[in-house]
Chains A and B, each alone.
Chain A
Amino acid sequence: MPDARGHFGPYGGRYVAETLMPALLELEAAYNDARRDPLFHESFQRLLHDYAGRPTPLYKARRLSAHCGGALIYLKREDLAHTGAHKINNTLGQVLLAQRMGKTKVIAETGAGQHGVATATAAALFGMECRVFMGTEDVKRQAPNVRRMELLGAQVIPVASGTGTLKDAMNEAMRYWVSAVRDTFYVIGSVAGPHPYPTMVRDFQRVIGDEARRQILDREGRLPQALIACVGGGSNAMGLFYPFLQDPVAMIGVEAAGKGIETGKHAATLGAGSLGVLHGSKSYVLQDGHGQILEAHSISAGLDYPGVGPEHAWLKDSGRARYVSVTDEEALEAFRTLSVLEGIIPALESAHAVAHAMKEAAQGSPDDILIVNLSGRGDKDLGIVFKDL
């Protein structure tokens, strides 16, 4: 748990303009109240079960494991959750909370569009007005998700400033929120942003790790050697890791090395970033020596972010988790391999985790078990992949 002001060690906190402080304090109070309320839990669990389709399976990937020749790989199938990614867990939780707080409008930012789709979905379910901010570059890269959001009744607002990616969409969502803070709930899509978002999003996503832990104990009667998940902002990884924190299980977060860390065109914030403040919290960020935020690069729109959740920064510093990176090319290769060997087309984000799992598995023994979070499905990425393969 973070301290009272939302700090994980030196990370986290609330670095926002004064206009937003009362809203964050109100949100924190409302969330603390909700998390202690059995009725809120019951409503949330029912939504996850009946609407999102949980629990998602833990699937033993036999052919992929055999191909790597080493450890046994299990896939946590978040791609099978409603809307095709883990994002739905968090948006159902936040929109349920928004309703409890009497808010009538929600906004969100999105990179790959998965969080936007999940927010638009939850907003439709609860009859709330929804605006989604999305960089113009991502609007192009993720056209099918833009259509889905619009079909769900959301208004997609293209953001042309900066590089037109997730960072800029988040800037614009924060600007809009400053103006509309009285009746609007900001649904943040990752374990980033000001306190209480990193904690709250982790809590809504911990269902991934809770299920995976129970499922692997049922299936194998023991815990895995390692958990592997991709990290952009880091919500799917945090959700998988958190319930295992006290267990003797290795945790590996996989960042996007893009065209290679040495080229500067990457999104490996924990691997190559430094201490900074971005989007309301203190964490690792990609920046120059003068504190200006640098552009991130990844073939995967969902990982294309120069910041990372503060709890990951803390897990890295404390040595509890390890962070590695894989390139665009390696992710594409894993994308193809998983499709061919298992009949599962992963999101490009998840393909980063799969790529590293394949390396890790090859070095492991047949007694080792790896759980890889398959955070989302890859339909949305076909345009990009067909262009690049």
Chain B
Amino acid sequence: MRRLQQVFQTLKDKNEGALVGFVTAGDPNPETSIGLLRAMTDAGVDILELGVPFSDPTADGPVIQRSSARALSHGMTLEKTLDMCRTLRQWSDIPVVIFSYYNPILAMGGARFYEHSVRCGADAVLVVDLPPEESKEFLDQWSGNHLDFIRLVAPTTPQDRMAAIASDASGFLYLVSMTGVTGSAGLNLQEVSATAARLKQVSSLPVCVGFGISQPEHVRAVCRTADGAVVGSAFERLIEENLTAPDLPERLGRYVQTLKAATRI
């Protein structure tokens, strides 16, 4: 069984939601970044989203923009992001989702991206600016079927489009909680719950909710209606506020533990 499928199955049996943790690869620098990945997996994050830094992250808010800029200033690339996944495989079997904008992937080439990702032990890819209409040319270059392709559903997505998106997706569906960029305030849990329910009607894939989730009570509420919560900007904010703190990995680990505890419903 694939790692993602396995994780959702195990969590379901335990009546837990998934905590999906996003960090920008190479932030604040590549050495520290590896330590942060270790702290997150040790603290019990269920799925890791490894963000590929990009110079023009139009779907992201200021916190993740700045994390990208920090990583890029240390020479981070897509190639090095995938290498980090390979390093992580020395200690963890956690499912890893490569989160990227399309341009770095296009520069590497779709076929090479697939092969390298599989070789490095990645499990899935989410390309934030590659909607179903444009994803065929990328997926056609894959030489096998070892990567899941995570697709996004937004609050603006109509029901028939939701069904079309779901029919093509694998791994899980990423439900964007609000119309906004990552790290925005104003999470409306009732609306999220209604959209998640609509999505559940058209797909049997697990649904993870992201954008604007930073508190244990958000995680708890989301895990009542969906299969998991994605936290990204909140982790990046903690990293940014503790850039030079020697105990940054421990602090991040404690935050992960707090949020993970809230997934047990």
Contact = CB atoms under 8 A, between A and B. Distances in A.
A182 B158 contact: no
Of the four ranges (under 10, 10 to 19, 20 to 34, 35 or more), the interface on chain B belongs to: 35 or more
A287 B151 CA distance: 26
B103 A277 contact: yes
A279 interface: yes
Given A20-B156, A179-B180, 9 more contacts: A18-B151, A19-B155, A161-B62, A171-B57, A175-B60, A175-B181, A178-B58, A276-B103, A292-B55
B179 A19 contact: yes
Interface of B: 54-62, 65, 72, 77-79, 101-108, 128-131, 133-134, 151-158, 161, 165, 176, 179-181, 184
Contacts of B155: 19
13 contacts: A5-B133, A13-B134, A15-B102, A17-B152, A18-B131, A21-B161, A22-B156, A167-B56, A171-B57, A277-B103, A279-B56, A291-B103, A293-B55
Contacts of A174: 58
Contacts of A23: 156
Interface string A165-198: 0010001001100111110000000000000000
Of the four ranges (under 10, 10 to 19, 20 to 34, 35 or more), the interface on chain A belongs to: 35 or more
Interface string A8-29: 0000011111111111000000
Given A182-B179, A276-B107, A290-B77, A15 B130 contact: yes
B58 A175 contact: yes
B152 A18 contact: yes
A276 B106 contact: yes
A178 B59 contact: yes
Nearest to A15: B129
Contacts of A16: 58, 129, 131
Contacts of B77: 290
A278 B133 CA distance: 17
Nearest to A280: B129
Contact of B156 (A15, A19, A277, A278): A19
Given A17-B128, A181-B156, A279-B58, A292 B179 contact: no
Chain A, interface SS category: mixed
A5 B55 CA distance: 26
Contacts of A290: 77-79, 104, 107-108
Interface of A: 5, 13-23, 161-162, 167, 171, 174-175, 178-182, 275-280, 285, 287, 289-293
Among A20, A21, A182, A291, find the residue whose CB has the most chain B CB atoms closer than 10 A.
A291
- Give the 3 A-B CB pairs with smallest separation, nearest first: A291-B107, A291-B104, A19-B154
Nearest to A161: B65
A323 B73 CA distance: 33
Nearest to B135: A15
A16 B102 CA distance: 10
B59 A291 contact: no
A13 B129 CA distance: 11
Contacts of A13: 133-134
A171 B56 contact: yes
Contacts of A162: 55-56
B56 A293 contact: yes
A17 B184 CA distance: 15
A178 B181 contact: yes
Nearest to B152: A18
Contacts of B78: 290-291
Contacts of A289: 107
Contacts of A5: 133-134
Nearest to B105: A291
A171 B68 CA distance: 14
Contacts of A19: 59, 154-156, 176, 179-180
B108 A291 contact: yes
Among A5, A161, A292, find the residue whose CB has the most chain B CB atoms closer than 10 A.
A292
Nearest to B75: A290
B4 to A, nearest CB: 20
Contacts of A279: 56, 58
Contact of A287 (B102, B107, B133): B107
Contacts of B130: 15
Contacts of B134: 5, 13-15
Contact of B179 (A15, A181, A275): A181
Given A16-B131, A17-B128, A17-B129, A182 B152 contact: no
A14 B131 contact: yes
B90 to A, nearest CB: 25
A318 B154 CA distance: 38
Nearest to B174: A18
Contacts of A161: 62, 65
Given A22-B156, A178-B179, A292 B72 contact: yes
